Amino acid sequence: MIETLKVPDDCATMDEVRAGVDRTDRELVALLERRFGYMRAAARIKQERAAVRDEARKSAVIAAARSDAEARGLPSDAIADIWDRLVEASIAYEFDEWDRLRS
């Protein structure tokens, strides 16, 4: 039997909510895998290690996430905080990859 996932507004039980959260978490990790793949590509492409950290780009990415959150009615401060941590983790990963590729 294939279990169908309910959208949040159609959930009537906590089991349905938890199934949706668990599936969404797996999807988020898959998306993060793709995002970090782009960080590997950036580490490969960038010729200078100093180019890994780009504060203007970081600010733009966080501002875009905040704006998207606001448009969706989500808590924009919390989303901006999550994105700040995500971008910092991505930068750290890219530095590690940059160094690994050139060692």
Q: Can you tell me which residue has the tokens 């966080």?
A: 62
- The overall average pLDDT reported for the chain is 96
3 is in an annotated binding site: no
53 is in an annotated binding site: no
For residue 9, give the amino acid letter.
D
72 is in an annotated binding site: no
57 is in an annotated binding site: no
Domains and CATH numbers, the chain: 12-102 (1.20.59.10)
Question: Distance of alpha carbon 56 from its chain centroid, rounded?
Answer: 18
Q: Is the dihedral of CA 1, 32, 12, 68 positive or negative?
A: negative
Tell me: the pLDDT tens digits for 4-36?
889 999 999 999 999 999 999 999 999 999 999
What end-to-end distance do the CA atoms of the chain give, in Å?
51
State the Cα–Cα distance between residues 6 and 9, nearest whole angstrom: 8
Measured CA angle at 29 (ends 88, 101), to 5 deg: 55
Q: How many CA atoms lie within 13 A of 81 on its CB side?
A: 5
Tell me: the pLDDT tens digits for 29-60?
999 999 999 999 999 999 999 999 999 999 99
Tell me: the pLDDT tens digits for 50-91?
999 999 999 999 999 999 999 999 999 999 999 999 999 999
